[in-house]
């Protein structure tokens, strides 16, 4: 909302010591937040003076233009008293006109410095200004011609033009609809400085009578009050006076025609939207009703709208003539020939206005006010003000008929403990202060012992609840008066187990050299295809966004790999070729259930709550990693090592070790992994994820380097099994006995199976086992591989006897032979 | 070699003569002193102290002497061998020291060579900053609450006093999920976590809810459809706006230093009443000569977010008696605070996954 300071001053007499910044500071602290102040005078540096055109010679130029060589009387403003010679290209003035002249040395908006300069064969010493050149609107039609009585040559034109009129732009919160008017803003200014307020809506209005235009309201809930007034003999050629056009422009509205401008002006003044009809285009009574579904109306913006049964419409005998409170129709629109005007000032149900505006995607200055709540008690005053201006400015005659249908809704009365504002704010606020401030905002307050009852003023439909009154009192006392006190929280338990474990996961992975990323969750069919997911793959069943930002990516991720691979490709594309990424994020599993919309007047019942919980999709937290390039860098020390499928598996394994979870790794096939290089990761029988090398096709599809390795696991599942309380280890200080063994097995026997057999066969003395070599080749035989293990044996309570370790080794080998066909080399 | 002198002949044995023993000793000591390195010394040891060295051989001849002469000869040879052993020991020590000195010189490396064989990993600064923020509240005894990202419409809006026709419901551009009547949204704020907390426990409630939220904003340097918020909620007996101010002052002081406190400006949020915008003193210019300050753009204050007293309607919808309890709540953007605290100029860096971004912050913030 933009409010010219001069307009505010009409209703509140601000003393000189209230500076502009004092005013905006106070209003901001009252809840009308300052957005910006613009003042045309700030953008212009003088000398800017009134001048009288003494001579004007038209001089055609070779380029086809005609310029005016003028001499202009600028009084003593130029220091000489001699006429000033100025070249001017505009043609909307004649000798004798009063114009606005900026003399050399002046600076116009855009740092445009005026100096005497040679042009078109003359020395032009200054400029005759247009409104646009002074930053006063967009009218480029010519220079400003002042009224004959505007002043004398040499007068300061800042004053004459009223240029020093700051326009304050406020951000108005939805609950303060009353401040979408000069009436509301000035009232707050008066409140803020404890000054008297002149209410522009306080005016005597003629009583309703039977002579007015007939109005029938079928839906009193939707339109509690409908006031109709009319004027005749309106001069359609009458133009909007400059002061009104200026104020409309200052407030951000475009002047259109006098009749329309008057309704807009009154809306800005009082906050009450007004609609004007060409009365001669009306046939029969004006009627307000709900539309029948499917009815059509062409609104003023030329759009044909199909109406819903909830829309409030205004009709006459010809049918629908307007969307009540939101926008009028074309058929009864005021035109350049209109002489008889019906003025509608109606109070509309705010919720209905909001729904209609949303349904038809209609936003208008009128709609904005009607849907947030307008003072229902000023319909007659607003209509009367419009009539007054049409009479005064448009030469019209006010018709005697006055139609008033309905009565304004009753004012809301709220009862609170007198000390509630003090209790809720923590400020020491006396009962007297509370009463005074509530009265200052316009409440009628009655006190009864420890409670008070406040009747909210008609312009404050937002005041409905006890805490609304608290806010009114506290904002006037001042939010800066709130003391700073720490609340007495009970002793806490710190982070939850899951939160601590997730932090541990992040630290572990970062310690292993991986960098965390955050990706958008939006994916599309193309991602499923790039990953090579089969038609029936469960990951293709995803939640779909109704209104995605990108129609190609309407789904919510069921796997973190698309986001991670895109990030990987971005890094590689930007020249970082050795990349190790991880992301922990929720993925979304559709439930198909619909969430109930419950009431808010009580806690949901257990069943209702269960139905919400059931409808909210399962969203497990996943962990994904992606690796490409060097795991260990090449350098002066040697060649380095490229990340591979084993790093992807190894990273998850190391994480499981860190969390004390035993992970089982077996070979499997699953998209998007390389079919021969994909590990299934299990805890017991539960599959928690997969790791390995990315399928070459997937690498190409996501433009990531070949051999990129990835893993994705259900992190929640891993954390569920984490060892949270570690039992302190007991370890032997007796000597260790080391035994190596090399076994030959069929090439397709998993190393994990051999190791498991060795462990079982070795028995309790086995302390650790490590595979230190895998070898294939002629010596081992076709289709075979050799696995070399280092075994360490130790007893907890004694030194092993000669032969004990080798016996255990033999037992281990025997078990491996039995289980896996292993043969000792 | 002579046989044992058993018949007590006063046999004269040349190698055991005093001058002979002295000569052998002096030769040995001279050779030891002449050994230039440990290798040479090894040979000298063999030659002069070994089993076949002159003194060792002389020692064997002692038995050939008459018994009354053996003692004297034995002492003479023994002293000579002792002197040799001592000289050997001393020389060994000297040569070993020399050897080590040489080795240490030869083993010199260029310690300025690069040493980084593996790149350091990093956690995302949003993660670590969320933790850092939470730490401030955990230290006050609060707990950290979390909730799902796809949320029931009722929890995201209705329970927070944003009914179907509430204008605020259009102020936030929401991602809705299909089917259109599923009443599910990507949460537009972390406030549903507050509602969930109140629905699951009775006061006293002291929680912060950091987390990811979604709005239909197109991506640019300061907007993202995905971003992060942290909200705080206290519900207890006798809670006031003063507690809100105290909490926020403590938080900004903990994160930005002494003197960096907050102020309130009246505002409007459906879930709080009274509602306020909160600003913090600019931590760069501290509100002094702010005109040139780029962090606060000359304001002296930095906008943080919204806060207020929990609207009793919200307490009611969540099953908490507003006649007994009152609450305070606040919320602000983690991404935004990260940006101004760390001079991050483009929000896109947070979500693009370029490792250079997160790596700059490491594992703690
Ligand atoms: Zn600053």
Q: Which domain CATH number covers A35?
A: 3.30.56.10
Q: Rounded to an integer, what distance in angstroms lies between the CA atom of residue A205 and that of residue A388?
A: 11
Tokens linked to B293: 């300050």
Q: Rounded to an integer, what distance in angstroms lies between the CA atom of residue B239 and that of residue A424?
A: 7
pLDDT tens-digit map of A770-813: 999 999 988 888 999 999 999 999 999 999 999 999 999 999 99
Which of A453, A481, A509 is a domain's end point?
A481
A509 Cβ under 8 Å from any chain B Cβ:
yes
CATH numeric code, B125-361: 3.30.930.10
Co-location of A77 and A27 in the same domain: no
Domain presence at residue A200: no
Which position has the higher pLDDT, B168 or A194? A194
Residue A259 in contact with residue A394, Cβ under 8 Å? yes
Residue B244 in contact with residue A427, Cβ under 8 Å? no
- Distance of CA A189 from the midpoint of ligand 1 (Å): 29
Count interface pairs A-B at CB distance under 8 A.
312
Dihedral sign for Cα atoms in the order A395, A400, A401, A406: positive
Which residues of chain B does A514 touch, with a Cβ-Cβ cutoff of 8 Å?
A: 121
Q: Rounded to an integer, what distance in angstroms lies between the CA atom of residue B145 and that of residue A229?
A: 59
Band of the pLDDT at A214, cuts 50, 70, 90? very high
Reduced to 3 states, what is the DSSP secondary structure of residue A86? strand
Q: Rounded to an integer, what distance in angstroms lies between the CA atom of residue A303 and that of residue A364?
A: 14
Which residues of chain A does B151 touch, with a Cβ-Cβ cutoff of 8 Å?
A: 616
Q: Which of residues 168-187 of B touch A (CB under 8 A)?
A: 168, 170-171, 175-184, 186
Q: Rounded to an integer, what distance in angstroms lies between the CA atom of residue A108 and that of residue A114?
A: 8
The minimum CA-CA distance between A655 and chain B, rounded to whole Å, is 14
**Which residues have CB less than 5 Å away from ligand 1 (the ion)?**
B 282, 284-285, 290, 293, 295-296
Other Cβ atoms closer than 10 A to A117:
12
With CA atoms as reference, report the closest residue to A473 among A497, A443, A501, A506: A443
- Distance of CA B288 from the midpoint of ligand 1 (Å): 8
Domain count, chain A: 6
Q: Which domain CATH number covers A605?
A: 3.30.930.10
Q: Which of residues 264-303 of B touch A (CB under 8 A)?
A: 264-268, 273-277
Residue with tokens 């193309």: A526
Co-location of A716 and A701 in the same domain: yes
Give the residue on B whose Cα is nearest the Cα of A511: B121
Average per-residue pLDDT for chain A: 93
Q: Which of residues 205-234 of B touch A (CB under 8 A)?
A: 206, 212, 216, 218, 225-226, 234
Which residues of chain B does A482 touch, with a Cβ-Cβ cutoff of 8 Å?
A: 241-242, 244-245, 264
- Distance of CA A37 from the midpoint of ligand 1 (Å): 21
What's the pLDDT score for residue A400? Answer: 95
What are the domain boundaries of chain B?
14-106, 125-361
- Per-residue pLDDT of chain B (365 residues), as tens digits, is 455 555 555 556 777 788 888 999 999 999 999 999 999 999 999 999 899 998 888 888 888 888 888 888 888 889 999 999 999 999 999 999 999 999 999 999 999 999 988 899 999 999 999 999 999 999 999 999 999 999 999 999 999 999 888 766 765 589 999 998 899 999 999 999 999 999 999 999 999 999 999 999 999 999 999 999 999 999 999 999 999 999 999 999 999 999 999 999 999 999 999 999 999 999 999 999 888 999 999 999 999 999 999 999 999 999 999 999 999 999 999 999 999 999 999 999 999 999 999 999 999 99
Co-location of A468 and A538 in the same domain: no
What SS3 string covers A362-383? CCCHHHHHHHHCCCHHHHHHHH
Q: What residues contact residue A314 under an 8 Å CB cut-off, 6+ apart?
A: A286, A287, A288, A320, A321, A322, A323, A324, A344
Q: Which domain CATH number covers A811?
A: 3.30.70.380
What's the pLDDT score for residue B28? Answer: 92
A357 Cβ under 8 Å from any chain B Cβ:
no
pTM here is: 0.88
A503 Cβ under 8 Å from any chain B Cβ:
yes
Helix then strand then coil, in percent of chain A rounded to 5, is: 30, 30, 45
Interface test mutation site (partner A, options B169, B234, B242, B362, max chain A beta carbons within 10 A):
B242
Q: List Cα–Cα distances, A798 to A727, A730, A731, A736, A764, in angstroms.
A: 23, 14, 12, 10, 13
What's the pLDDT score for residue A139? Answer: 60
Give helix then strand counts, H and E, for chain A.
Answer: 21, 43
Co-location of A302 and A315 in the same domain: yes
Residue B243 and residue A487: Cβ atoms within 8 Å? yes
Co-location of A347 and A311 in the same domain: yes
With CA atoms as reference, report the closest residue to B151 among A597, A113, A317, A529: A597
Domain presence at residue A73: yes
ipTM for the complex shown: 0.88
Residue A694 in contact with residue A672, Cβ under 8 Å? yes
The minimum CA-CA distance between B141 and chain A, rounded to whole Å, is 4
Tokens linked to A432: 């007297």
**Which of A495, A509, A635 has the CB atom closest to B144's CB atom?**
A495
- Residue B141: which H helix or E strand, with range? none
Co-location of A183 and A148 in the same domain: no
Q: Which of residues 570-599 of A touch B (CB under 8 A)?
A: 570-571, 574, 576, 578-581, 586, 588, 593-599
Residue B311 in contact with residue B279, Cβ under 8 Å? no
Q: What residues contact residue B36 under an 8 Å CB cut-off, 6+ apart?
A: none
A651 Cβ under 8 Å from any chain B Cβ:
no
Residue A486 and residue B250: Cβ atoms within 8 Å? yes
- φ/ψ region of A21 (left if φ > 0, alpha if ψ in -120 to 50, else beta) reads alpha
Q: Side by side, which strands form the sheet with A286-290?
A: A215-217, A286-290, A312-316, A319-323, A327-328
pLDDT tens-digit map of A668-677: 999 999 999 9
Which residues of chain A does B301 touch, with a Cβ-Cβ cutoff of 8 Å?
A: none
Reduced to 3 states, what is the DSSP secondary structure of residue B51? coil
Domain presence at residue A399: yes
Co-location of A570 and A647 in the same domain: yes
**Which of A424, A563, A597 has the CB atom closest to B153's CB atom?**
A597
A417 Cβ under 8 Å from any chain B Cβ:
no
Band of the pLDDT at A61, cuts 50, 70, 90? confident
Share of chain A above pLDDT 90, in %: 77
Give the residue on B whose Cα is nearest the Cα of A571: B354
Co-location of A267 and A340 in the same domain: yes
Domain holding A526, by residue range, is 498-720
With CA atoms as reference, report the closest residue to B311 among A468, A453, A454, A412: A468
Crossing angle of helices A182-192 and A20-30, rounded to 10°: 100
With CA atoms as reference, report the closest residue to A271 among A476, A468, A33, A458: A458
What's the pLDDT score for residue B1? Answer: 47
**Which of B150, B154, B264 has the CB atom closest to A482's CB atom?**
B264
Residue A825 in contact with residue A742, Cβ under 8 Å? yes
pLDDT tens-digit map of A64-122: 888 889 999 888 888 888 888 898 888 888 888 888 889 888 888 888 888 888 888 88
Point out the annotated binding site of A.
462, 468, 471-472
The rounded Cα B325 to chain-centroid distance in angstroms is: 43
The minimum CA-CA distance between B327 and chain A, rounded to whole Å, is 9
Co-location of A602 and A514 in the same domain: yes
Co-location of A332 and A361 in the same domain: yes
Residue A486 and residue B118: Cβ atoms within 8 Å? no
Residue B124 and residue A516: Cβ atoms within 8 Å? yes
Which residues of chain A does B312 touch, with a Cβ-Cβ cutoff of 8 Å?
A: 465-467
Point out the annotated binding site of A for Mg(2+).
462, 468, 471-472
What's the pLDDT score for residue A218? Answer: 96
Domain presence at residue A569: yes
Which residues of chain B does A503 touch, with a Cβ-Cβ cutoff of 8 Å?
A: 131
Residue B199 and residue A604: Cβ atoms within 8 Å? yes
- Distance of CA B233 from the midpoint of ligand 1 (Å): 29
Tokens linked to A127: 């400029």
**Which of A467, A510, A598 has the CB atom closest to B309's CB atom?**
A467
Which residues of chain B does A34 touch, with a Cβ-Cβ cutoff of 8 Å?
A: none
Which residues of chain B does A441 touch, with a Cβ-Cβ cutoff of 8 Å?
A: none
What's the pLDDT score for residue A504? Answer: 97
Q: Rounded to an integer, what distance in angstroms lies between the CA atom of residue A762 and that of residue B90?
A: 54
What DSSP designation does B177 have? B
Residue A622 in contact with residue A560, Cβ under 8 Å? yes
Co-location of A358 and A226 in the same domain: yes
Q: Rounded to an integer, what distance in angstroms lies between the CA atom of residue B163 and that of residue B169?
A: 8
The minimum CA-CA distance between A771 and chain B, rounded to whole Å, is 24
Tokens linked to A587: 């993925």
What are the residue ranges of helices labelled H in chain B?
18-34, 38-49, 54-61, 67-106, 125-138, 153-156, 168-171, 191-200, 241-256, 312-317, 334-342, 348-352, 355-359
What's the pLDDT score for residue B4? Answer: 55
B344 Cβ under 8 Å from any chain A Cβ:
no
The minimum CA-CA distance between A616 and chain B, rounded to whole Å, is 6
B126 Cβ under 8 Å from any chain A Cβ:
yes
Residue A652 in contact with residue A582, Cβ under 8 Å? no
Residue B131 and residue A31: Cβ atoms within 8 Å? no
Residue A68 in contact with residue A60, Cβ under 8 Å? no
Reduced to 3 states, what is the DSSP secondary structure of residue B273? strand
Co-location of A229 and A342 in the same domain: yes
Dihedral sign for Cα atoms in the order A323, A325, A329, A331: positive
Q: Rounded to an integer, what distance in angstroms lies between the CA atom of residue A605 and that of residue A624?
A: 39
Q: Rounded to an integer, what distance in angstroms lies between the CA atom of residue A785 and that of residue A742?
A: 10
Q: Rounded to an integer, what distance in angstroms lies between the CA atom of residue A99 and that of residue A148?
A: 10
Q: Peptide bond preceding B204: is omega within 30 degrees of 0, i.e. cis?
A: yes
The minimum CA-CA distance between B329 and chain A, rounded to whole Å, is 12
What's the pLDDT score for residue A145? Answer: 84
Which residues of chain A does B148 touch, with a Cβ-Cβ cutoff of 8 Å?
A: 586, 616-617, 619
With CA atoms as reference, report the closest residue to B316 among A281, A600, A596: A600
């Amino acid at each position: 909302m933009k409010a010219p300071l001069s307009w505010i001053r009409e209703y509140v007499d601000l003393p000189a010591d209230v500076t502009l910044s004092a005013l905006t500071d106070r209003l901001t602290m009252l809840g009308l937040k300052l957005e910006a102040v613009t003042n045309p005078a700030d953008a212009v540096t003088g000398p800017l003076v009134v001048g009288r055109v003494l001579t004007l010679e038209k001089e055609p130029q070779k380029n086809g233009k005609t310029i005016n060589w003028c001499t202009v009387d600028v009084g003593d403003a130029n220091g000489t008293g001699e006429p000033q010679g100025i070249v001017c290209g505009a043609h909307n003035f004649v000798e004798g006109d009063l114009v606005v002249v900026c003399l050399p040395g002046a600076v116009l908006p855009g740092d445009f410095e005026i100096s005497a300069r040679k042009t078109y064969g003359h020395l032009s010493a200054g400029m005759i200004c247009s409104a646009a050149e002074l930053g006063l609107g967009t009218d480029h039609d010519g220079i400003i011609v002042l009224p004959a009585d505007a002043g004398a040559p040499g007068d300061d034109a800042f004053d004459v033009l009223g240029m020093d009129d700051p326009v304050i732009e406020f951000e108005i919160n939805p609950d303060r609809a009353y401040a979408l008017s000069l009436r509301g803003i000035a009232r707050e200014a008066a409140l803020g400085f404890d000054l008297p307020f002149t209410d522009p809506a306080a005016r005597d209005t003629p009583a309703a009578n039977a002579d007015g235009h007939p109005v029938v309201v079928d839906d009193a809930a939707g339109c509690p009050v409908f006031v109709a007034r009319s004027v005749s003999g309106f001069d359609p050629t009458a133009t909007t006076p400059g002061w009104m056009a200026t104020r409309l422009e200052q407030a951000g509205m475009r002047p259109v025609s006098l009749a329309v401008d008057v309704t807009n002006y009154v809306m800005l003044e009082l906050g009450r939207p007004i609609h004007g009809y060409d009365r001669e285009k009306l046939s029969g009574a004006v009627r307000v009703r709900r539309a029948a579904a499917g009815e059509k109306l062409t609104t003023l913006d030329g759009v044909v709208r199909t109406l819903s049964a909830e829309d409030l419409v205004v009709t006459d005998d010809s049918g629908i003539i307007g969307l009540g409170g939101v926008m009028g129709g074309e058929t009864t629109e005021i035109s350049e020939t209109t002489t008889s005007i019906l003025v509608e000032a109606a109070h509309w149900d705010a919720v209905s206005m909001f729904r209609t505006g949303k349904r038809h995607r209609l936003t208008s200055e009128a709609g904005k006010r009607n849907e947030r709540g307008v003072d229902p008690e000023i319909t007659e005053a607003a209509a009367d003000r419009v009539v007054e201006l049409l009479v005064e400015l448009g030469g019209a005659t006010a018709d005697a008929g006055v139609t008033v249908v309905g009565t304004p809704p009753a004012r809301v009365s709220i009862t609170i403990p007198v000390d509630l504002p003090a209790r809720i704010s923590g400020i020491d606020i006396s009962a007297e202060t509370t009463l005074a401030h509530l009265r200052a905002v316009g409440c009628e307050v009655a006190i009864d012992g420890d409670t008070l009852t406040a009747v909210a003023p008609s312009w404050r439909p937002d005041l409905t609840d006890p805490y609304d009154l608290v806010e009114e009192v506290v904002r006037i006392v001042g939010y800066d008066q709130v003391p700073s006190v720490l609340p007495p929280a009970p002793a806490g338990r710190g982070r939850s187990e899951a939160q601590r474990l997730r932090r541990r996961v992040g630290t572990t992975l970062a310690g292993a050299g991986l960098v965390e990323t955050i990706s958008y969750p939006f994916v599309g069919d193309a991602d499923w295809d790039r990953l090579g997911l089969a038609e029936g793959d469960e990951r293709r069943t995803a939640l779909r966004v109704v209104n995605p930002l990108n129609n190609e990516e309407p789904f919510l991720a069921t796997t973190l790999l698309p986001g991670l691979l895109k990030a990987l490709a971005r890094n590689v594309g930007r020249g970082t070729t050795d990349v190790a990424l991880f992301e922990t994020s929720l993925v979304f599993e559709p439930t198909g259930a619909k969430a109930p919309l419950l009431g808010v007047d009580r806690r949901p019942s257990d069943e209702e709550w269960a139905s919400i919980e059931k409808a909210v999709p399962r969203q497990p937290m996943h962990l994904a990693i992606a690796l490409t390039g060097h795991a260990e860098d090449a350098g002066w020390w040697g060649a380095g090592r490229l990340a591979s499928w084993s790093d992807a598996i190894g990273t998850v394994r190391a994480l499981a070790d860190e969390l004390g979870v035993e992970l089982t790794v077996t070979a499997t096939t699953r998209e998007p992994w390389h079919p021969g290089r994909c590990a299934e990761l299990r805890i017991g029988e539960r599959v928690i994820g997969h790791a390995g090398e990315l399928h070459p096709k997937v690498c190409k599809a996501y433009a990531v380097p070949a051999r990129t390795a990835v893993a994705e696991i259900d992190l929640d599942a891993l954390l569920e099994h984490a060892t949270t309380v570690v039992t302190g280890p007991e370890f032997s200080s007796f000597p260790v006995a080391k035994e190596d063994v090399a076994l030959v097995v069929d090439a397709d026997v998993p190393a994990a199976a051999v190791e498991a057999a060795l462990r079982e066969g070795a028995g309790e003395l086995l302390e650790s086992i490590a595979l230190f070599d895998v070898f294939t080749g002629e010596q081992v035989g076709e289709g075979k591989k050799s696995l070399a293990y280092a075994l360490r044996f130790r007893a907890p309570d004694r030194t092993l006897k000669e032969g004990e370790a080798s016996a255990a080794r033999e037992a281990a080998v025997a078990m491996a032979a039995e289980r896996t066909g292993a043969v000792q080399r | 070699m002579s046989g044992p002198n058993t018949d007590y002949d006063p046999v004269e044995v040349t190698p055991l003569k005093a001058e002979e023993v002295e000569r052998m000793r002096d030769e040995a000591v001279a050779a030891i002193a002449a050994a230039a390195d440990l290798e040479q010394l090894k040979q000298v040891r063999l030659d002069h102290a070994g089993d076949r060295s002159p003194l060792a051989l002389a020692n064997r001849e002692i038995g050939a002497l008459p018994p009354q002469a053996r003692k004297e000869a034995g002492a003479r040879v023994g002293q000579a061998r002792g002197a040799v052993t001592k000289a050997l020991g001393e020389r060994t020590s000297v040569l070993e020291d020399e050897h080590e000195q040489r080795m240490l010189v030869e083993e010199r490396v260029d310690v300025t060579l690069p040493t980084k064989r593996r790149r350091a990993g990093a956690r995302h600064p949003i993660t670590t900053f969320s933790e850092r923020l939470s730490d401030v509240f955990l230290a006050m005894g609060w707990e950290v609450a979390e909730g799902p990202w796809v949320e029931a419409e009722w929890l995201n809006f209705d329970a927070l006093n944003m009914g179907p026709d509430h204008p605020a419901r259009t102020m936030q551009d929401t991602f809705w999920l299909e089917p259109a009547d599923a009443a599910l949204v990507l949460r537009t704020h972390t406030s549903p976590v507050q509602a969930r907390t109140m629905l699951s426990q009775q006061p006293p409630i002291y929680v912060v809810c950091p987390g990811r939220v979604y709005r239909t904003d197109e991506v640019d340097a300061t907007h993202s459809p995905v971003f992060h918020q942290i909200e705080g909620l206290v519900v207890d007996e006798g809670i006031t706006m003063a507690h809100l101010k105290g909490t926020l002052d403590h938080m900004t002081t903990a994160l930005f230093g002494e003197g960096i406190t907050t102020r309130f400006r009246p505002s409007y949020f459906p879930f709080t009443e009274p509602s306020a915008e909160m600003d913090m003193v600019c931590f760069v210019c501290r509100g002094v000569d702010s005109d040139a300050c780029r962090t606060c753009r000359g304001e002296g204050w930095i906008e943080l977010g919204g806060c207020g007293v929990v609207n009793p309607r919200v307490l009611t919808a969540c099953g908490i008696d507003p006649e007994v309890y009152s609450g305070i709540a606040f919320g602000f953007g983690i991404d935004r605070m990260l940006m101004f605290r760390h001079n991050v100029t483009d929000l896109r860096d947070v979500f693009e996954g370029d490792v250079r971004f997160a790596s700059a912050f490491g594992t703690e913030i």
